[in-house]
Structure 1
Amino acid sequence: MQYGLIGEHLGHSYSKLIQEKLIDNYTYEIHPVKKTDLDAFMKKHSFQAINVTIPYKKDVIPYLYQLDDASKKIGAVNTIVNREGKLFGYNTDYYGFDYMVKKHGISFANKKVLVLGNGGASQAIQAVIKDNEAKELLVTDIILSGDVLSIDSVYQNHKDIDIVVNTTPCGMYPHVDSAAVDLSKFIHIEAVFDCIYNPMDTKFTLQAKSLGIPVAVTGLEMLVGQAKRALEHFKDIQIDDREIDRIYREILFETSNLITDCTNSDILNDLSNRLHKEIRFSKQIEKDAIENSLILVVSQEEISAHQEKLISNGFIVNGDSADTIIARFKSAIQKF
């Protein structure tokens, strides 16, 4: 492997899809590594450059020759470059999160911010929040230590939170029915960010939208942003930031579900051929809705009954031709 991703469980990673869209003639591999094999893998370091994900962002640090300033501050590494046998570590989660927040016009300055979770990704998010002059930063986790609070303590004593960021896996595929917080406990939240990117809308962000919170964003833009910055380190090149949004939209187009009540076989087959999505006449909506890249054929009655679950990973689109449905699908993605 020259370039790729290491972690423990990588079955639903989008990293290969993203990385290979950023430049041509480039292969990026998904390489699961067991905890018992990490030491040998890092000592051998027979790679040109890799990304690192859960649970190894801290574990890889002892093997590195040098860390960038972000990695030192955060205490976690997600990008490693092998230069003539010496391993250099970087943290591009910082860049990806900072990009996502600013893209949506949110400032942390003078705001009271709640971060859910205290792991490796959380450290990068906390660094961004502090560097952007938040008035107060609160952190919750299931492991209480130091200044880390319980969520019940936050509910009781900090109802005036302005911004909430989820860095926990709570709500990630396939456990999509959970959320790390109940947003109704707070008075005036203006934005929420979820580092989870699958599903495209989590229970956390869907609740935010139902409460009228103006900005509710999941982590795909962050993922693409950090990947772009990582590849710049890999190849020692510069990539225009506009590529982040292009790839973000392409991935939504390729991976999200198209939900329709159209039953015309000619139209459905045309859609399937053009979108490269499997047609599924859904009988198990709760299960099918959280899968990716499907054309889900669902009656209007079932759409009404299961709308929140369906829109967590897709767009409801109807029309009298494949051209019309595809145009409306693209339009929905542009507005997302």
Structure 2
Amino acid sequence: MITILETSALNTVQDLGRPGYRNLGVGTSGVMDHVALQVGNILLHNQPGDACIELQTYPFVLRFETAGSFAVTGIDADITLDGTPVLPWSVMTAAPEQMLRVGQPRAGARGYVCIAGGIDVPVVLGSRSTQLRGSFGGMDGRPLEAGDTLKTSGVTTPVAGYGAVPPTSILAAPGGQDSTVINLRAIPATDYALFTAQAHERLWHTQWRITPQSNRVGYRLSGAPLELHQRVELRSYGIVPGIVQVPPAGEPIVQLADANTAGGYPRIVTVIEADLWRLAQARIGARIRFHECTHQQGVAAMAPIEAYLDDLRMMVAHYRKSALRRTGAKPGDKA
């Protein structure tokens, strides 16, 4: 069990999402950075879909009421346990009454506090994710507040002190390494041909800036407007994260985890699933650039991510087995 001592707006309980209900007008929600959550759950020997706390604003402080192993992934930040520095992307075990503090990130935007066994909140429509627009899931459908108490499974691991190499250090960025620009691969979408040749040129060569009018629903981008050959009216269509819509003003919107389930603005491209985690870690004011790819290339881009996660699973399994053998502990033992 943990108690939230300090938190700002928009920090919520999330898991891998709520698929299968878009036909009923219910979006998927879930974490913005699926890779960071999967890394945390692998490190802690959790189930893949166990829930965590997604941090968007800082500082964040919680107190462990019972012993618990944890990992903070997604960001590089000053993280302390009772004042002692803790490495991100690594497993530690807290004793009762110890306080975990996560400061402002040096790199990345969204942090994930993963607890052994996961955060135990009611399952709503197959998920523990918070759906803020519908006010359900997570902690009563709202952001976390100071004083909230969250149940955990009570499971702790007798093994700690190991971690993962962050995905940014392993997975090659499209367009090369450039710390000033976030490069994203995108596939021309259904309405791509409705835009002018000049709009196509601007789309692929503009460094788009993420505006303050951005959130988990979508990132609004600032840059030279993208123009249509002629004004069109489209029937509403289904929305998934990654679709880039262009409203009448001509500045794109990238749909994200809390995207609407339907929309009618022209679709110019779709950011591939393999790059959505990079977009999730982009801060307001950051610049992004789109790189054209095919559907086949987009599907193939998931392979390095799966290989990275598989390698991590193998490493964690070997490390835990070796450590348990040395200590004489059993996998189900409490720390």
- Which structure shows the higher strand fraction? 2
Same fold (TM over 0.5): no
Greater relative contact order structure (CA < 8 Å, 6+ sep): 2
TM-score (norm 1): 0.29
